[in-house]
A and B are shown apart, each in its own frame.
Chain A
Amino acid sequence: MEVMQKIRLIIILALFVSLQAACHRNRTAALEGRPVINSERLKNGQVMYMRYCESCHPGGLAGLGPGILGTPSFLKRFQVRHGLGTMPAFKKETLPKKDLDDIILYLKAVKKASK
């Protein structure tokens, strides 16, 4: 990837991370069944999210790290593979593409369920 292209991606990622905290809403409804895990890919995405992401971004929200529900998927992928800031990178040997795809799918479902 071209250096300037990388830089632009990082800038966009950073801006989205900064802005996304304002994007999710108050939690007021009952907790259960959100999101509905109704496919093998979602099930795998949930398990992989718990293994690699949940402890720093509980439920996709901010914790040790920033909230990530509002971050576009392509930026999430970039961050996972490159590890900007204090977050470690997760290479394909650790987190295969299929599992990362499933994590992204799971996060989309979490975001949809939180609306």
Chain B
Amino acid sequence: MKTLNYALLLAALCSTSCYSFRGSKGGGQTTAAATRQASADDILLPAGYQIEIVAEGLNYPTALTTDDNGGLYVTEAGYVYGDVFTTPRLLRLNNSQPEVIYSGDKNGPWTGVTYHDGSFYISEGGQTAGGKMLKVTRDGKASVLLDSLPGMGDHHTNNPVIWKDHLYFGQGTATNSGVVGPDNADFGWLKRFPTFHDLPCEDIVLAGVNFESNNHLGTGKANTGAYLPFNTASRPGQTIKGCIPCSGAILRIPLRGGKTEVVAWGLRNPYGLALDRTRNKLYVAENGADDRGSRPIFGAPDVLWEVKEGAWYGWPDYVAGLSLKDHKGFKAPGSAPLKPLLLKEPGEVPKPVAKLGVHSSSNGTDFSTSDQFGFKGEAFVAQFGDMAPNVGKVWKPVGFKVVRVDPETGVVTNFAINKGKHDGPASWHRARGLERPVSVTFSADGKSLYVVDFGIMLMRDGQVLPQPNTGVIWKISKKS
């Protein structure tokens, strides 16, 4: 009997809990055809709402803004994970073909756009030449407001928000958790920029923790420390000088020109920066760490933060306000226990407003300002969806929907999802609904919510396979 019990236990553990034996079932891990036929019929919304298609066939759309007359403008990325380069574009959506307002250089991804006082402000990710902030007039004349941002790595220069006569934006980190490693070779950028690494906003003191990996820039083994180039070891007590611009931060520049300032730092990939006009506060949706690279982190949720001026949010030694040193659950199965990279913490880490799905890739965010639309004062967050197994295994697809978040309670509620038993992209469901929502934008009158759906991105045999011209713009409004 005792033997039988132990045998049953082993079988049960292996079937349910034994992480290393279990496969991954991410939303991109489908054998479905990579073509798209979108339809609102396969999408669920709260009662009284409707969704319709505004545009389709877009090439990796990332963001939408409106002008004074309600005209719709969309950015196309120009760079996609999988190291795919296309032309980044600003398009005006007309009834027929989209009109190209401006085409950019091979330095995507364009991650965001906002319209202000007759011009468009675009965040250029910076995969080949560093991140930039562009200003584009309505007739397509572009100027560079800011350049040389550290956007050549895993994460880029993110979407702009105009507030208090400043242009605010998020700047992502170069790496997953502070250390350049084999995952960065897989991304493609390590060979392009062999000395690129994370940059702190203020002076930091390292604990001297180093990580051994294969040498992807030569032969043999590499030994790499935090905030240092690949194959450069750190030593205990080593100071890394802070600089501006830095990575993993919210930065701002005066609209009329001037110095770049740090608003907050210690963030990993602060993608979804948004102004809550009801509370007159800034919030940001941050992509949490992945189970990959030299310092993998398990079970890190995405987070909605209130942006507090001067705060340090804990990266690379905290996840969602929790210390990696004290919370053993973040240790990836099969990897070494996590040690802090910093000898001294630069500040007290704030508490998250809300925790969002692990690997959900919670990206573009906007706040409802209208009683007519409903949920006034709540954040709406586009969840691009997991990129498993490259970011870590998942039991079922995570994200691929729009959620709303009550900043007062942290309660997350589905707002737009695909029909079916589980979350997942339309391609995974073999249906025609949402694929990968990447951003959301309310119309100027607040009555409609536009959802930018990036399109199909498959994950097969370790490869990221984005499918061109599968992007869709959806519009959600109240039924009259």
Contact = CB atoms under 8 A, between A and B. Distances in A.
Given A17-B16, A62-B422, A54 B328 contact: no
Contacts, number: 137
Chain A contact patch, size range: 35 or more
Contacts of A84: 13, 17
Contacts of B8: 11
If over half of A's interface residues share one DSSP class (helix, strand or loop), that class is named, otherwise mixed; here it is loop
Contact of A55 (B6, B15, B17, B301): B301
A38 interface: no
A105 interface: no
B410 interface: yes
A24 B13 CA distance: 22
Interface in A48-101: 50-51, 54-56, 58-59, 61-67, 83-88
Given A50-B409, A61-B422, A87-B329, A18 B16 contact: yes
B2 A4 contact: yes
Interface in B397-448: 398, 409-415, 417, 419-423
Contact of B13 (A25, A46, A85): A85
B354 interface: yes
A30 interface: yes
Contact of B333 (A11, A50, A86): A86
Contact of B18 (A7, A64, A85): A85
Contacts of A46: 409, 411
Contacts of B18: 85
Q: Which 7 A-B pairs have the closest CB atoms?
A: A85-B17, A88-B329, A14-B12, A55-B301, A32-B46, A62-B396, A30-B47
Interface of A: 4, 7-8, 10-11, 13-15, 17-18, 24-33, 46-47, 50-51, 54-56, 58-59, 61-67, 83-88
Given A83-B329, A86-B19, 9 more contacts: A27-B417, A31-B45, A32-B47, A47-B409, A50-B409, A55-B357, A56-B299, A58-B357, A85-B16
Interface of B: 2, 5-6, 8-9, 12-13, 15-19, 44-48, 298-299, 301-302, 320, 327-329, 333, 354-360, 392, 394-396, 398, 409-415, 417, 419-423
